[in-house]
A and B are shown apart, each in its own frame.
Chain A
Amino acid sequence: MSEPSFFDIAQDMLCVATPEGRFRRVNDSWTRTLGWSREELCAKPFVEFVHPDDRDRTATESRGVATGRPTFHFRNRYRSKSGGWHWVDWKSVLDEESGEIYASARDVTREVVLHERLAAREALLTTMVAQQLHAREDEHRRIAVKLHDSALQHSVAALMFLDLVPLDDPAVREPVDLVRGEVNLALETTRLVMQGLDPLDLGEQGVAAAIASTAEELAARFGLRIDLEVDDVCVSAPIATSLCRMVRETLINAAKHAHASRVVVSIGSDELDAWAEVRDDGRGMDVVDGGTSSRSGAGLGLAFLRERAASLGGVLHVTSCPEGTCVRMVIPSLSPDAIAGGRE
């Protein structure tokens, strides 16, 4: 196949240009892409086809190529004959023998538009997740207030009333003690739930301290040994709050359902994700297709955790054996701007 026909069948827009900034020769792809004829393209300086906002840097790039510095990654916009704009990626090089510039250009308009749409959707999704996080925290506060004002107060009052019952008669004492035990259990459960709903002051104490505080509380409550491996976590407050709450739920699962005695909590983050991993030495669970369990009774809790991670665009990985369980949660980080947008 001869060189001229190879030049003309290329899908990319190929051209030969003068150092003064005019096309000397263009292939058919130019006409197919932009609608201009070869004659029209060669009739005036090519910069006149370039978007006004891109002209200065196009001129600068062209001068560089003309002095022997090749272009490998340059993008500008070219006007089509119908009036639209096409994004074009350039590669060009100077032919020192002829003094002319040989260039290959590719229409990447669709790619650019798709990228912009994807970025817009990503921004929208991020804002929605941030809104969801804030709404969830508001809901937590509301539920905590309701629990405090209702279940907790009524449980306390019930204990006080029980203290008024004369216990001289063993036939009375035994059921009263049983009722007191049940009310105390309800009270402690209410407190546990309320503490899990408490707003976390991450602004002051940070993620590591919040996790340490939670670990200390749960270690004392359940007799767990909890070791922390917390890196310097740098994530937005809502994400940090979500992670802390998920770790708390996982620790409670490990204590209550897996009957673990030792748990290791690791937390970390990078520019894309924040993650937490909770490894226990409990009795394990049946994990079906990466799903939830049936052996230990922790299945419902894990299902909630999985839903929560998914609602934040994240994932939950669970691996388990009779010697223990590892729950790893990964949540995409959110930008501060998105967080601010979510609060509005």
Chain B
Amino acid sequence: MTKAAGKTCRVAICDDAETIRRALKMALARDERIEVVAEAATGVEAIEVARAVRPDVMLLDVSMPELNGIDAIPQVLEASPSTTVLIMSAHRSPETKARALAAGASTYLEKGVGMSDVICNVVLGCTAAPD
């Protein structure tokens, strides 16, 4: 099953750059379909958030201290199998994208894409995520 239409999409933002978290939070908060339920600044914190909050969608950066986003994905999904992981990174190399998708990410967004694209992917990820 996928999430029922009309249900608020619960999103966690994981990025070590505070300014990115703030910008994402402001942008996502403007969409009534989305609720930002948690933030994390490291890969380890992302796993803790997944375990504690079980968000519908996790926006996950790649380069983060302690544990990078790609290496965190398996543990995030183990802690919260219903979470859809969207990687949002400044890395553009095909190898990094392939690694992220192989690790379990649903989508790979390059930082710099418009917020409308980000919101669209978050909503799609939420819809696709199993209940």
Residues of A in contact with B (beta carbons under 8 Å apart): 148-149, 152-157, 159-161, 163-164, 184, 187, 191
Contacts and interface: CB of A to CB of B under 8 A. Distances in A.
Contacts of A157: 17, 19-20, 22-23
A297 B23 CA distance: 38
A223 B27 CA distance: 35
Interface in B1-59: 16-17, 19-20, 22-24, 26-27, 30
Nearest to A183: B112
A153 B27 contact: no
B121 interface: no
Contact of A160 (B16, B24, B92): B24
B111 A156 contact: yes
B75 interface: no
A193 B114 CA distance: 22
Interface string B97-131: 00000000000000110111000000000000000
A185 to B, nearest CB: 12
Contacts of A159: 112, 114
B112 A187 contact: yes
A163 B111 contact: no
Contact of B90 (A153, A160, A161): A153
Contacts of A163: 27, 114-116
26 contacts: A148-B63, A148-B90, A152-B111, A153-B17, A153-B20, A153-B90, A153-B111, A155-B112, A156-B23, A156-B90, A156-B111, A156-B112, A157-B17, A157-B22, A160-B20, A160-B23, A163-B114, A163-B115, A164-B23, A164-B26, A164-B27, A164-B30, A164-B115, A184-B112, A187-B112, A191-B92
Interface residues of B, number: 18
A149 B19 CA distance: 11
Contacts of B115: 160, 163-164
Given A148-B63, A149-B17, 6 more contacts: A149-B16, A155-B112, A156-B90, A156-B111, A163-B116, A164-B27
Contacts of A191: 90, 92
Contacts of A155: 112
A153 to B, nearest CB: 4
A191 B27 CA distance: 24
A164 B24 CA distance: 10
- Among A154, A163, A187, the one with the most B-chain Cβ atoms within 10 Å of its Cβ is A163
A253 B42 CA distance: 38
B36 to A, nearest CB: 14
A100 to B, nearest CB: 77
Contacts of B24: 160
Contacts of B30: 164
A152 B115 CA distance: 16
A152 B20 CA distance: 10
- Among A148, A153, A160, A163, the one with the most B-chain Cβ atoms within 10 Å of its Cβ is A160
Given A163-B27, A164-B27, A164-B30, A156 B20 contact: yes
B23 A161 contact: yes
Contacts of B92: 191
Contacts of A149: 16-17
A155 B113 CA distance: 12
A238 to B, nearest CB: 22
A191 B63 CA distance: 15
A338 B3 CA distance: 62
A163 B115 CA distance: 6
A288 B16 CA distance: 49
B92 to A, nearest CB: 7
Nearest to B26: A164
A139 to B, nearest CB: 19
B87 to A, nearest CB: 14
Nearest to B24: A160
Contacts of A160: 20, 23-24, 26-27, 115
Nearest to A161: B23
Contacts of B27: 160, 163-164
A153 B20 CA distance: 7
5 shortest interchain CB distances as A-B pairs: A160-B23, A163-B115, A153-B17, A157-B19, A156-B111
Contacts of A164: 23, 26-27, 30, 115
